[in-house]
Structure 1
Amino acid sequence: MSDPFDAALDLLRRLPPSQTQQNLASIISIAPDLEDDLLSSVDVGLAVKRCPKSGRDYLCCDYNRDGTSYRSPWSNDFDPPIDPDDAADLVPRGKIRRMEEELNKSIDVYRELYYEGGVSSAYLWQLDEGFAGVVLVKKSSGGAGKGGWDSINVFEIIEATSKRSAHYKLTSTVILDLGLKNDAVGGLELAGNLTRQEELDQPLAGLRDAEIESSHVANMGRMVEAMETRLRNLLQEVYFGKAKDVVGDLRSIRLLSEAEQERQSHKEAISKMGGATI
């Protein structure tokens, strides 16, 4: 008998990508013991919550979750509140929190420049060796032409012993969900996701802790910018380019008169060159 976790992942791969959130919830209701493993393994659209302390929106994912509570990057508090003893282990402090605050400010500017709206959040946490983090961006549009873009960028960072450089491992996933529904075309839906990974060694500027922390933030920001640009271009080529090729193979948009005129010009050119007519 196959492993239930593998069977659940196999099932989700065969169901419509635009309904992953609903299908995931249905599978968890049937097999609640798989909840933690599935939530940490399956990429779904990001949920938005409002921080009661700061009044700002933030994004929810498995990396800022404890049960049904989520930590706001703006206040560093869980909502709903969790046990203080548990919070002490889950809430970043010191160097990690300072970098998290600076990273959120930087990503907020990046989001406004590239997305002109949406919501962004960044979370960092300590590892046994180095630290890790995630940068999230979500942009949605409604109406007859709905659209959703969810970007999940997960980092693992290990500093060199000299603290003059660090090794960065980035795993980025973009979830795209587009739809159009009106009387003219009926219903049209295009959804899917794309994941890419990159590892780089980057220098760290400065000698003081504040300078090294700022270097980490700058390095992560540049890597996210480059990776998201690459994924955006790949999505453009894979989804829209392929859809255009398929539609073009099904039916030509050229008028018959234009095609006939081109064939006639082709015949005349060959005839003048002394070749055989077609």
Structure 2
Amino acid sequence: MSLRLTGTGELSAHMLEGFGRGTASPATPAHHTPDTHFQRPYTIFNMSDPIDSALDLLRRLNPKDVKQNVDHIISLNPSLEEDLLESVDIPLSVKKCSQTKREFLCCDYNRDGDSWRSPWSNEFEPPVVDGVTPSDRVRKMELKANEAFDVYRELYFEGGISSVYLWDMDDGFAGCVLLKKSVNPSSQSAGSWDSIHVFDAQDRARTAHYKLTSTVILSLGTDSEALGALDLSGNMVRQVEQDMAVEDDGSHVANIGKMVEDMELKMRNLLQEVYFGKAKDVVGDLRSIPPLSQTNRDRATQREMISSMGR
């Protein structure tokens, strides 16, 4: 989980475990060698792979600005575009299907150049020649999965947008489930939840082996005269593998739905109990709502009561 908390006091806290689907290699530590002439250390910098350097840089920047930071890195080194888009999860963007007039989510898995495939019409927006689309069998499962997760989205998120994309593999199929919910309760506060669940299913005799990688990108912010500016944003990545029984293609949709539902529940609980709890403790220790004099009197009264009880 990468968590950054910023406010008017320039407070920042990082709990960094991974960024997106790729893992950035740690930066090579600088070696300090004494200069025999001046008798003071100097630093030798080792040049590393550009993609590793880019990923390492992104790990140190505000997760809320990851899309902007990725665009800046690509403008500096266009050759990194494909590797960065495949390795870094960015907040999902929204497009509208020209045929069905329904909104869908865009990610690297439904992208072909500068076009994105709509899960509703199976066409690219804008149109492309010879765009890659799933086979008839996988396309039928994709339609069922979109219908199922559209209901899931309404029940759990009470709004937002969902999209499911599937593609063929040699020993089965793979896909991704995308969910996005954005809220703007006021002009001074906003929040967004983006979850990206990438999976592959390997067909076996009467079972299937599923591997699921889930990423949640969360951003919360507010700015008011009374409380100042507060930004809480970051991402979390988790993986799970499981063998489940399969009777027909409909069983795949049910199995994937169950795995995604369980994973989102675990990640929401973890965010609520661990990361939000930690941020609350940090803010509570740094800022006291009652006056300091009253807090000191309360502590003195508490110590006096404890002392009198021990006599």
TM-score (norm 2): 0.80
Query: Which residue number corresponds to residue 262 of structure 2?
Result: 226
Distance (whole Å) between structure 2 residues aligned to residue 261 and residue 186 of structure 1: 33
In structure 1, which of residues 120, 124, 132 is the aligned counterpart of residue 174 of structure 2? 132
Divergent runs of 4+, >4 A:
251-255
Task: Provide the aligned length of Structure 1 versus Structure 2.
Answer: 259
* Higher helix proportion (structure 1 or 2): 1
TM-superposed CA distance for 1:204, in Å, is 1.1
Structure-to-structure mapping, 1:31-46, within 5 angstroms = 31-46=77-92
Distance (whole Å) between structure 2 residues aligned to residue 181 and residue 250 of structure 1: 18
Gaps of 5+ in 2: 1-46
In structure 2, which of residues 100, 117, 133 is the aligned counterpart of residue 71 of structure 1? 117
Query: Which residue number corresponds to residue 275 of structure 1?
Result: none
Q: Is the 8 A contact 2:160 2:182 kept in 1?
A: yes
TM-superposed CA distance for 1:252, in Å, is 4.8
Task: Give the partner amino acid of 1:270.
Answer: G
Structure-to-structure mapping, 1:44-63, within 5 angstroms = 44-63=90-109
Q: Is the 8 A contact 2:166 2:174 kept in 1?
A: yes
TM-superposed CA distance for 1:261, in Å, is 3.3
Query: Which residue number corresponds to residue 148 of structure 1?
Result: 192
Task: Give the partner amino acid of 2:299.
Answer: A
Query: Which residue number corresponds to residue 280 of structure 2?
Result: 244
Task: Give the partner amino acid of 1:156.
Answer: D
Structure-to-structure mapping, 1:105-120, within 5 angstroms = 105-120=147-162
Distance (whole Å) between structure 1 residues aligned to residue 233 and residue 286 of structure 2: 21
SS state at 1:125 partner: strand
Task: Give the partner amino acid of 1:150.
Answer: D
SS state at 1:43 partner: coil
Identical residues among aligned pairs (%) = 57
Q: Is the 8 A contact 2:200 2:212 kept in 1?
A: yes
Question: What RMSD over aligned residues (CA atoms) do the two structures have, in Å?
Answer: 1.3
Distance (whole Å) between structure 2 residues aligned to residue 253 and residue 24 of structure 1: 39
Distance (whole Å) between structure 2 residues aligned to residue 193 and residue 131 of structure 1: 27
TM-superposed CA distance for 1:245, in Å, is 1.7
Q: Is the 8 A contact 2:92 2:194 kept in 1?
A: yes
TM-score (norm 1): 0.90
Query: Which residue number corresponds to residue 227 of structure 2?
Result: 185
SS state at 1:154 partner: strand
Q: Confirm whether residue 9 of structure 1 aligns to residue 55 of structure 2.
A: yes
Distance (whole Å) between structure 1 residues aligned to residue 274 and residue 105 of structure 2: 27
Q: Confirm whether residue 265 of structure 1 aligns to residue 301 of structure 2.
A: no
